[in-house]
């Protein structure tokens, strides 16, 4: 059985403050998103991850590590810069079965 995880990481983190979205803020020297993806990669039942981010965030210097995670098969840059990924958006992504 193939298990695909969809990770919605398109938020702006405005409630946390600062200029860097919370998923890219550092925790023990690495972005929070790295720890999330690494945990999913190491769990043993997930065969691939689809990461959903804002296109502008992929230009951040802290995204160079993303290529080192082989389990991340697709990066979907469909979140518009003027809005965050809502629960409704996430539910729509779940309907996209062809990505997995």
**CA dist., res. 12 & res. 16, Å (int):** 9
Asked if 26 and 34 count as a contact pair (C-beta separation under 8 A), the reply is no
pTM exceeds 0.85 for this model: no
Domain ranges across the chain = 4-99
The DSSP call for residue 69 is -
Asked whether the beta carbons of 49 and 2 are under 8 A apart, the reply is no
pLDDT tens, per residue, the chain with 100 residues: 788 888 888 777 777 777 788 888 888 988 888 899 889 888 888 888 888 877 777 666 556 666 667 667 666 666 555 555 555 565 665 555 555 5
Looking at CATH, the fold of the domain delimited by 4-99 is given as Spore Coat Polysaccharide Biosynthesis Protein SpsA; Chain A (3.90.550)
């Amino acid at each position: 059985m193939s298990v695909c995880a969809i990770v919605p990481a398109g938020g702006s983190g405005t409630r946390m403050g600062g200029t860097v979205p919370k998923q890219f803020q550092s925790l023990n020297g690495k972005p929070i998103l790295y720890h999330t993806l690494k945990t999913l990669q190491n769990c043993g039942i997930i065969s691939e991850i689809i990461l959903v981010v804002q296109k502008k965030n992929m230009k951040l210097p802290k995204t160079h590590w993303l290529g080192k995670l082989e389990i991340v098969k697709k990066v979907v840059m469909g979140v518009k810069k003027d809005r965050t990924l809502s629960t409704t958006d996430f539910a729509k992504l779940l309907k996209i079965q062809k990505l997995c």
